[in-house]
Structure 1
C-alpha cells in the first residue's frame, strides 16, 4: 500500500498523526499517543468528523483529499477536545462520588464531556457542580423524560385510541405510486453521481415500499427485484404476509418480526436512544414524527433514504455467502458485496462443513449456518435501522460514493457480528476441543 504523502493512507495513521498535534488530551489517548478506540467511536467519528453524514471520511484507507479533510476537522476542534478531556476528569470524579455504576465510564462520559465542552467551554470554578448535574440528568431525569415519559404518554387509553386512529388514517391516505424502475436500475448498474442525482429526489423508493401494502405486494416486489438484479427475492423479513400490515402503536401488540411492521413505540424508543436529551423534541412531537414516517414507503420519510433501502432490497438476494460467488448477470456491486463476505474464514469453514469435509458440532454450527442462510435478512434489518437513524437526525447521503460506503459498511458490520459469534462459540467449545486433541 502506498504510504507517501500523495498516496492513500491508513485512516488510523491519519488520526494518530493529527491527534498527536493536540496537547492536553492525554486522558483520551492511548499509549502510542493516538486517540483511544473509544475516543474515536464515541467522540471523533460521531461528533467531530460526523462519519454518518460523511461516510467517505470513515473508510479504513483515505486518499489524499479525505486524509487532509479528516486532519483539518480534528485540528479545528482542538480547543473543544482539550475542554472535553478536562470535563471527562470532572465527570469521572463526580460519577464516583455519586456512586453511579451504570454503563462503561468512557461510553457514558465521553459524549457527555464533549457536550459540556460545547456548552461551557473549558471547565470553570463550578465545574464539579455542573458535572454532577449533567450526570444526574443523564442517569435520572433524562430517563423519565425519555422512555418512561413515552410509556406514560401511550398508556392513556383515550390518547392511545386517538393515535391509533391517526395512524390508520395516515397509512391508508398514502396512495400507491406508479413503479418506474428505470432510474433505480441505472443506479444499481452504474453507481454514478449522475444516476444518484436522478434517483435521490424521485419517488422510486417510496413507490416500491407503498406497493408492498397492496394485495400481492410481496409478489410485486419480487418481480421488481428480478427485473433489476436477475435474482428471485427470498424471504427478506420485511413483513409477515403478502402485504404489509399496519404497524401497531404499542410494542406489546407486535405479532411478528416483520421489519416494516415494527410498532410506533419501538421506533420512538430507538429515536430516544439516538438523540441526546438536549436535542429531543417533546415525546408527543416524536410520536407524531414517527406516525408520518410509518405512513411513508418503507417507513422512511426522506425520499433519498427510501431509495437507499430500495437499493438494499434489490442487492440483498445476491448476498448468499454459503453459495460462493454470485451467478453471472448479477450487478457487479452486488457480486463484490457477496464476495466480501464469502471469502471470510468462518464462511469458508461453513461451506467445507456442508460439503462433508469438516466436522460440525450441532448447536453453534447450526446457528451459524442459519445466520449465513439469512444473511440478506440480517443485512436489510441493519440497513433499515441505520437509515432510520439518518432520518431522525436529518442526515442524507451526499453522493453515490456515500451510498456505496453506507451499503458496504452495513454488509461489513453484519459480517463482523457473525465473526464475533463464531469466536465466542469457539471459545465456549475450547475445553471440548482440547479434550479430543
Structure 2
C-alpha cells in the first residue's frame, strides 16, 4: 500500500526484504514474512536498532528510509540464517533442560542472535553451546550479571572498540532538527494545556532529543532553562560518558558511565528478559548518545518536560514567578506538606529545624528540583529499557505528578528521622 510521496508500509518493506533471505523459516510467519516477535525481539532492537534510528521504525516509510531498512536487513542475512539455526538448537535444549520460564521466542530469539554474532553458524558442538547459554541465562542473577559486565568492560580490546563506537554515536547526534527555543516553546505549551492534542504535537516534534542535544554544544546550558543548577552535567556542555568510572556516586545524570547504566538494566530486567552482556552494552551505547540519554523520543520528551518544569519546583520559596499552571500546581502540592511548612519557619528564624545546623538537610530541601529530575530520569530509563511508552497526556501528567510526590515523601522521611533523632535537644531549645 502506498501513501503520499511514494511512502510504503513498513511491514511491506520488511516482508519484501525478508523474502530474499533463505533459511529463516523458523523465524517466519505463515505468509513468509518475519514473525511479529522476530521483528520485536531481533529485527528492530538488534538489526535495525530503531532506538538509534527512530525514522526507520515509523509505520510509513519514504523511499530513502525504505531503501535503508532493506539494506540493513539484507546485509545481516548470514547472521539471521545462523540465528534461525541457533534457535532450533536452543528450543531443543530448553525442552531437554525442562526450562519453562518465559515465552520460548521472547527468551531465545535474542539469545540465538547473540550466539550467531559470537559464534557464527552452529557447529558440531552446538547442542552443548546452546545448553550452556541457557543455563547461564536462566541461572543468572544480578550479581553474576554485574560480574560478567565488569569482566567484559575490563578487556582492553573490547573497551577500545566500545569507546570508538560511543564516540561515533555521539558525533552522529550533535545536530538537533529543532532549535532549543522552539523545543522549549512546545514544552511550555504542553505544560499550560496538558491535553492529548498538545501531547501528540509535542511527542512528534523531537523536542526532547533536540533540547538534550543542545546541551552538548558550547554554551548549551544557556538554551536550557535553569540547567546549570539542575545536576545534569559537570560543565557548560555534556561530556561523552565514560565506559567506567571509579567510585561513581556523582548526581550528573547525563554523564553516568555506561557500566552504571547497564547495572541499572540488570536490576530492572529479570534474567529471562535480558540479552547477553554485550547486547545490553551495545543498547546502552546507542541510548547514551541520544538526547538526555534516552533512546525513545517520547521518553526524552517526558524528561525535557521535567527539565522545563524543574526550575519552578521551589517549595521552600513558594514557587517561581511566571511558572506554568502545572508547575504551580506541583509546587503547591509539596508546599502544603507539614515538613515544608516547618522548614520554611525554621529558615525564617522563628523555630529551629534541628537543634544544630544541618546543611545537608537544608540543601536537600532547597535542591528539590535536582532530586525530582534524578528520580524522573531513573524512572524513564527503566521505561526505555523495557520499551514502555506513555499512552497519552494523562499518563505523562500522572508520571510527573507521581515523581514529584515520591520525591516529597523521601524528603519528608529524612526530615522526620532528623527530628525524631534529636527530639530531646529540640525540646530543650523550644
Q: Tell me the distance in 2 between the aligned counterparts of 1:317 and 1:417.
A: 19
Shift of 1:367: 2.3
**Is the Cα–Cα contact under 8 Å of residues 251 and 264 in structure 1 kept in the other structure?**
no
Alignment correspondent of 2:16: none
Alignment correspondent of 1:215: 218
Residue pairs, 1:83-94, within 5 angstroms: none
Instruction: Say whether residues 1:409 and 2:417 are aligned partners.
Output: no
**Is the Cα–Cα contact under 8 Å of residues 230 and 370 in structure 2 kept in the other structure?**
yes
Correspondent of 2:204 among 197, 201, 219: 201
Cα pair distance change 1:425/1:409, threshold 3 Å? same
Alignment correspondent of 1:297: 291
Q: Tell me the distance in 1 between the aligned counterparts of 2:344 and 2:245.
A: 38
SS at match of 2:230: coil
CA RMSD of aligned residues (A): 2.7
Alignment correspondent of 1:285: 279
Alignment correspondent of 1:257: 251
Alignment correspondent of 1:382: 375
Which segments of 5 or more consecutive residues in structure 1 lack a partner in the other structure? 1-114, 120-135, 223-231
Alignment correspondent of 1:322: 316
Q: Tell me the distance in 1 between the aligned counterparts of 2:417 and 2:247.
A: 34
Shift of 1:390: 0.3
Residue pairs, 1:215-234, within 5 angstroms: 215-222=218-225, 232=226
Shift of 1:356: 1.3
Q: Tell me the distance in 1 between the aligned counterparts of 2:100 and 2:375.
A: 31
Shift of 1:201: 2.6
Alignment correspondent of 2:387: 394
SS at match of 1:293: helix
Q: Tell me the distance in 2 between the aligned counterparts of 1:376 and 1:313.
A: 9
Which 4+ runs in 1 deviate beyond 6 A? 115-119, 136-140
**Is the Cα–Cα contact under 8 Å of residues 318 and 335 in structure 1 kept in the other structure?**
yes
Q: Tell me the distance in 2 between the aligned counterparts of 1:356 and 1:364.
A: 12
Cα pair distance change 1:416/1:243, threshold 3 Å? same
Q: How many residues get paired?
A: 298
Alignment correspondent of 2:191: 188
Q: Tell me the distance in 1 between the aligned counterparts of 2:236 and 2:271.
A: 39
SS at match of 2:229: coil
Q: Which shows bigger deviation, 202-211 or 425-434? A: 425-434
Alignment correspondent of 1:150: 149
Q: Tell me the distance in 1 between the aligned counterparts of 2:191 and 2:197.
A: 12
Cα pair distance change 1:217/1:326, threshold 3 Å? closer
Cα pair distance change 1:149/1:363, threshold 3 Å? farther
Alignment correspondent of 2:165: 166
Q: Tell me the distance in 2 between the aligned counterparts of 1:267 and 1:189.
A: 33
Residues 111-167 of structure 1: per-residue CA shift (max 9 Å, x gap): xxxx99988xxxxxxxxxxxxxxxx99997424641111111111111111111111
Cα pair distance change 1:212/1:341, threshold 3 Å? same
Q: Tell me the distance in 2 between the aligned counterparts of 1:193 and 1:155.
A: 47
Cα pair distance change 1:242/1:255, threshold 3 Å? farther
Cα pair distance change 1:324/1:143, threshold 3 Å? closer
Correspondent of 2:332 among 319, 330, 339: 339
Shift of 1:183: 2.9
SS at match of 2:316: helix
Alignment correspondent of 2:14: none
Cα pair distance change 1:263/1:385, threshold 3 Å? same
Q: Tell me the distance in 1 between the aligned counterparts of 2:161 and 2:101.
A: 42
Alignment correspondent of 1:20: none
Residues 180-232 of structure 1: per-residue CA shift (max 9 Å, x gap): 3343232121010001111113211000000000010111213xxxxxxxxx5
Alignment correspondent of 1:247: 241
Cα pair distance change 1:198/1:212, threshold 3 Å? same
